[in-house]
Amino acid sequence: MSPQTALKWKANDMPDLAGKLAIVTGANSGLGLETTRALAAKGAKVILACRGQAKAETAIAELTAGGIDRSLLEFRACDLSSLASVREFCGGFSRDHGQLDLLINNAGVMALPYRTTEDGFEMQIGTNHLGHFALTGLLLEPLLATAGARVVTVSSMAHRISGMKLDDLQSTRRYQKWVAYGRSKLANLLFTNELQRRLEASAADRQGVIAVAAHPGYSSTNLVFVGAQMTGNSVFERMSALGNRVIAQSAYMGALPTLYAATVADVSGGDYYGPGGPLEMTGYPRKVRAQDRAYDQASARRLWELSAELTGVSYAAL
């Protein structure tokens, strides 16, 4: 598909996905819900990997009311801020399934006041990067067993805010919530690119397993409100609501780069997709380029080593 054609690409343009199995983290709302809706509408079985069952079941009820076959939707608990929860999820999945076509690393937190995860990690790097690093590594066996499997990790325009500070990954010296968020999204890209290099250097290359990244531009979701609500910042909350109404594109449009990366035949490992409009804020999906630091191989290798050490997940097959 040409770049010009891709500018008008919609979810309905995805190929038939009957028989495919997907995992979508954070599938109960926003981009994750729209991603789940689109994949299941094309026949994929989707596992909603979410923290809470109540919200996931509400999402499933919404999807089925909209015509999605209930048999294509399954909730499994997965809290990315808890390595124990991630391990339990992956263990259960691997016992039940020998293959996995799509892993959509979508869930995330944004601009929170300083918090730590159950394992003592700063919450944003812990959830957005380390949780997904562990999840992907623990699902590596079913991914590698599936010809053409894809790992799609959702980054953000905010990855341009700052460098990684690999000597202070947990932001213990100085915590700035937006800088920490930006670093977690840069980590998503460094992870994707290093994972792709390792896949290419392994037997997985013969199976066509690839790692790809995407970002939603400026999309109307509830993610932006959480940090403001936690700090009681009503002014920022009102400004965010106004931005969502006036500037942002819909969550459906924001999910398109992820869906394109997950399903279109001309996607290559290491590609990065985002909206095609001005400043990549809105529009139909197209291939984009991250900031130069996202392609730094030395930083990517060091981040990988740190992540493996912190999570205890080794990616032995790679």
Which residues are known catalytic residues?
181
Strands 150-154 and 45-50: unpaired
Query: Which residue, chain included where needed, has tokens 């010809």?
Result: 147
SS3 call for 108: coil
200 closest CA partner among 283, 297, 309, 133: 297
Q: Say if residues 257 and 285 touch (Cβ distance below 8 Å).
A: yes
Q: How many CB atoms lie within 10 A of CB 179?
A: 18
CA dihedral 32, 259, 8, 41 (to 10 degrees): -80
DSSP state of 167: G
155 closest CA partner among 105, 113, 112: 105
